[in-house]
Amino acid sequence: MNNFTYSIPTVIHFGKGQISHLAELKRSGDRVLLVYGGGSVKKSGLFDAAVKILTDAGISVTELPGVEPNPRIESVRRGAELCKENKIDMVLAVGGGSAIDCAKVVAAGACYDGDPWDLVLDGSKIKAALPVYSVLTLSATGSEMDEFAVISDLSKNEKWGTGSDLIKPVMSVLDPCYTFTVPAKQTAAGTADMMSHTFENYFTNVKGADLQGSLCEAVLKTCIKYGPIALREPENYDARANLMWAGSLAINGLLSYGSEVGWCVHPMEHELSAFYDITHGEGLAILTPVWMHFVLKKDPSKTAQLAAYGRNVWGLTGEDSEAAEQAVNKTAEFFFETMKMPANLRAVGITEKTHFEEMAAKAAAGCGGSFVPLTKEDIVSIFEMAF
Amino acid sequence: MNNFTYSIPTVIHFGKGQISHLAELKRSGDRVLLVYGGGSVKKSGLFDAAVKILTDAGISVTELPGVEPNPRIESVRRGAELCKENKIDMVLAVGGGSAIDCAKVVAAGACYDGDPWDLVLDGSKIKAALPVYSVLTLSATGSEMDEFAVISDLSKNEKWGTGSDLIKPVMSVLDPCYTFTVPAKQTAAGTADMMSHTFENYFTNVKGADLQGSLCEAVLKTCIKYGPIALREPENYDARANLMWAGSLAINGLLSYGSEVGWCVHPMEHELSAFYDITHGEGLAILTPVWMHFVLKKDPSKTAQLAAYGRNVWGLTGEDSEAAEQAVNKTAEFFFETMKMPANLRAVGITEKTHFEEMAAKAAAGCGGSFVPLTKEDIVSIFEMAF
């Protein structure tokens, strides 16, 4: 097991009716920037409910609406300006990971003199940030409880993750009821996203991180049990609750402390999203089984770990090589049949291979130190297999 | 799943050499009360190392030595007095759960005008506390990362748990190497303690807390894998590391948030310790399989949950009734054969039944709202079966 420092300061108010805790933002000041995406939080009444609690608590609200599904640097710049102009005290995201990621970099940008894109390229430049709060409406990225934010500059086909302890949310409200209206496509993509976070931590070369591995399996089994139930019964509270909490635990540090390795599927997917603006979770689902197959082929010494995944998560038996192969198939079946997700790149509108070389070259920077280090050529092969 | 508020503010520095972080206590002030037990931390050199780091950081050290294995209110009173006399800024425990529990109530007692025993009887009376820090030397109670403290008044045969967010450690150092010298008896008792914390959360009547249940299974499997290795190879780093981290996660809230029920085996054991001053973990190991048997007999509707435990933790198969029965046997075998723990009350020196009625009456107050509510008569039966 590796050395680590555990620090998860975010307070989570989980469950029905917990939005009343928004009144506690008053501790951070009198002026909030409310960051949100499309009209769904308005349609659902959540927006009005949040604004009422805030104004009743004596907090004045400035709005940053229209944050994109892959949040863009332009929104961040606009938000940081709003903070400076209106002497904002804290930033509250109401929405999914996109709104929260945007809010995090806005909160840092508000305390930074240069262009917020600098902070996306280099998280260590974040030296201060306004307090960040969130009300989560989509179980997926885990941004509500972690230090990360992913921002895109589509003018450059770039999508990068940044991170800092300073942008960890102070408090997040997780009410599973807010996810009842999440459409099937986003429910599936969110489930794939949290499973991918878990896989990135689970397949590690660190020895002796057994507890972390078993915790990963717990999260994976929960996703596999409740993802399909949430698709069939969108208002099943326990399904939505288990997925919501699994999404937070998948990336808040619990699964990685002591076992962390370099991620690989995420860097590859970020290139797909940066070039084609596809749904992140769908890109991850498409790449994950292909990546697993490739790993088994490139480095057969990983067979035992894939087999253990098959046994402990899918209940498979048999020899390592068979269990490993079946585990990959089970994963693909889960995403593409059970969760009804698009199974290849063409199915999400990537109909030509023009950018494979360029995307692979960029992703290779992220995949060089992963479970099985991948070269640019390896990644081109994976994109080809996923096509 | 139940509503919950997640708040685990303790920062953990985990791994080899992390003791250097003690210099960070300077943030809390210039004067520390160093709370410890017997001579083992002196023999191992840990005491001197800690004092050197503290004094090098400009922190003056006042000592509270001699904290007992079941820490007593007399030590707490002495510590609180020392804090007041010496204008202590923060309290640092170096030791196991006993030293940390004592330090917590000392930290609260230092900010309280009355007798600290009031704070043991009623945690809500804790309105302020000095910052608490710890260096852990025994994997067991999880006190290094939680809000609880258990203090005994042997003059009254009383042992009670108290708790407050205000006494959660600010920071704890968990270096598995410090547990290399823990004797077999304490290694086994510590493993039983963390497993019992996990069982108390795992066997719940809350529906839909699947993720929490799977996380419990992860902790249990880790204890079952690494407990015996730590017994055989006391200096196996990964074994000590997995047990150490399992002990913290078993009771820091992670396993109970959303699924919590009233504990039952702990209240029963606390009576044994209060009357006979036995080792807490040994008492828990003795009572746990007996309690499981009793639960199955008293409320057969719990069979499926015990069977799930058998399947998911012990890999058992077969019908519910068989898997449940076997799961209890596996648990007993693990404690009494694999971990070589005393198997009944007589083996820990409780050779007469004089106090069974009195102890059961007290424990019943704690067991009334548990997984299967137990009456005084039930608890007498359990003590009889454990005799």
Percent of chain A with pLDDT over 70: 100
Choose the CATH number for B184-386 among 1.20.1090.10, 3.50.50.60, 1.10.240.10, 3.30.2270.10. 1.20.1090.10
Q: Which residues contact B342 (CB under 8 A, 6 or more apart)?
A: B282, B285, B286, B336, B348
Q: Which residues of A touch B1 (CB under 8 A)?
A: 15, 176, 237-238, 241-242, 245
CATH fold match for the domains B11-178 and B184-386? no
Is domain A11-178 classified as CATH 3.40.50.410? no
A215 closest CB neighbour out of B9, B218, B226: B218
Is pLDDT above 90 for A122?
A: yes
Q: If you search the block for the tokens 């092969």, which residue do you land on?
A: A381
Mean pLDDT of A148-162: 91
B261 pLDDT higher than 90: no
Which helix (H) or strand (E) covers residue A162, if one does? strand A158-163
B245 touches chain A (CB under 8 A): yes
Would you call A208 an interface residue with chain B, using a CB distance cutoff of 8 Å?
yes
d(CA A213, CA B242): 11
HSE, side-chain direction, 13 A CA sphere, residue A34: 23
Could you tell me the pLDDT band of residue A170, with boundaries at 50, 70 and 90? very high
Would an 8 Å CB–CB cutoff place A219 in contact with chain B?
A: yes
Share of chain B above pLDDT 90, in %: 93
Look at residues B264, B187, B256 and name the one whose alpha carbon lies nearest to residue B216: B256
For the stretch B99-112, pLDDT in tens is: 999 999 999 999 99
d(CA A335, CA A182): 18
- What is the per-residue pLDDT for B369? 83
State yes or no: pLDDT of B338 exceeds 90: yes
Mean pLDDT score, A190-195: 98
Contact between A211 and B218 using a beta-carbon 8 Å cutoff: yes
The pLDDT tens digits for B290-323 are 999 999 999 999 999 999 999 999 999 999 999 9
Q: How confident is the model at residue B23 (pLDDT cuts 50, 70, 90)?
A: very high
Cβ count within 10 A of residue A331 = 25
**This model's pTM is above 0.90:** yes
What residue of B is the nearest CA neighbor of A225?
Answer: B210
Domain boundaries, chain B: 11-178, 184-386
Q: Is A226 in the B-facing interface, judged by CB distances under 8 Å?
A: yes
**Option in B3, B218, B254 nearest A14 (CB):** B3
Arithmetic mean of pLDDT over chain B:
96
Share of chain A above pLDDT 90, in %: 94
Picking from B149, B374, B167, the residue whose alpha carbon sits closest to that of residue B261 is: B374
Distance CA A139, CA A194 (A): 8
Task: Express each pLDDT in A317-339 by its tens digit.
Answer: 999 999 999 999 999 999 999 99
DSSP A12: E
| Chain B residues inside the 8 Å CB shell of A12 | 4-7
Q: What is the pLDDT of residue B243?
A: 98
- Determine whether the interchain pair B6/A4 forms a contact, defined as Cβ–Cβ distance below 8 Å: no
Contacts of A242 in chain B (CB under 8 A): 1, 208, 210-211
Residue pLDDT, tens place only, B199-233: 999 999 999 999 999 999 999 999 999 999 999 99
B20–chain A Cβ distance below 8 A for any pair: no
- Give B35's pLDDT tier (boundaries 50, 70, 90): very high
B132-182 pLDDT, tens digit per residue, is: 999 999 999 999 999 999 999 989 988 889 999 999 999 999 999 999 999
Which residues in chain A touch residue B5, judged by CB atoms under 8 angstroms apart?
11-14
